[in-house]
């Protein structure tokens, strides 16, 4: 596993949420990753810096990429593109997929404690704070739910960014 030894300085106002159904992604530095299989569907979870990337493929073909990161993504390549310069909550929904992004110390939704898988990465101390990125997921029948937490250590405060997503697999 790669270990970051210097602080990662990112500002959540530079975050974008990019939803794509192909692999038109910028190059990203993966710090941790995990996989989850549901029949012929592969879900890949990745912590990329203080951000995350979730990729779903079915039958070997990419059907969804969810990226919340401070990266340059061409919004023309996205099904949905949202910048967070105002740090206001947002939600995006299709018949098969839903994502919510929220800002605050605690999310507005409940995260269950049972049958949860998890990735977590703790970054070097910045401004006397320990930033983390966490991805948690759980399968419920033919749906996969995932939640993320990203903390951004700024000089005067910590900004918390939470996401909640669900993808329903149709066969």
Is the model's pLDDT at 105 over the cut of 50?
yes
**Cα–Cα distance between 161 and 78 in angstroms, integer?**
21
Q: Which long-range contacts (CB under 8 A, 24 or more apart) does 79-86 make?
A: 79/19, 79/20, 79/21, 80/17, 80/18, 80/19, 81/16, 81/17, 81/18, 81/19, 82/16, 82/17, 83/15, 83/16, 84/12, 84/13, 84/15, 84/16, 84/17, 84/161, 85/13, 86/13
User: What contacts 138, CB < 8 A, 6 or more positions away?
Assistant: 112, 115, 116, 117, 144, 145, 146
Q: What is the pLDDT of residue 7?
A: 43
Q: What average pLDDT score do residues 119-130 get?
A: 86
Task: Tell me the pLDDT band of 2, cut-offs 50, 70 and 90.
Answer: very low
Q: What is the pLDDT of residue 73?
A: 85
Q: What is the pLDDT of residue 171?
A: 64
Is the model's pLDDT at 126 over the cut of 60?
yes
Helix (H, G, I), strand (E, B) or coil at 14: helix
Q: What is the pTM of this model?
A: 0.90
Instruction: Supply the mean pLDDT for the chain.
Output: 89
Q: What average pLDDT score do residues 85-99 get?
A: 96
Q: What is the pLDDT of residue 9?
A: 54
Q: What is the pLDDT of residue 6?
A: 42
Q: What average pLDDT score do residues 59-86 get?
A: 92
């Amino acid at each position: 596993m790669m270990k970051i030894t210097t602080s990662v300085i990112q500002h959540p106002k530079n975050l974008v949420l990019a939803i794509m159904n192909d692999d038109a992604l910028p190059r990203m530095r993966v710090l941790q990753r995990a996989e989850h299989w549901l029949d012929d569907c592969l879900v890949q979870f990745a912590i990329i810096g203080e951000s995350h990337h979730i990729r779903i493929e079915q039958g070997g073909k990419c059907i969804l990429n969810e990226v919340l990161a401070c990266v340059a993504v061409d919004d023309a390549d996205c099904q949905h593109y949202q910048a967070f310069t105002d740090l206001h909550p947002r939600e995006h929904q299709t018949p098969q997929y839903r994502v919510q992004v929220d800002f605050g110390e605690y999310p507005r939704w409940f995260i269950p404690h049972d049958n949860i898988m998890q990735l977590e990465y703790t970054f070097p101390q910045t401004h006397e704070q320990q930033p983390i990125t966490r991805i948690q997921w759980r399968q419920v029948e033919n749906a996969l739910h995932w939640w993320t937490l990203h903390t951004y250590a700024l000089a005067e405060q910590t900004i918390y960014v939470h996401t909640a997503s669900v993808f329903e697999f149709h066969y």
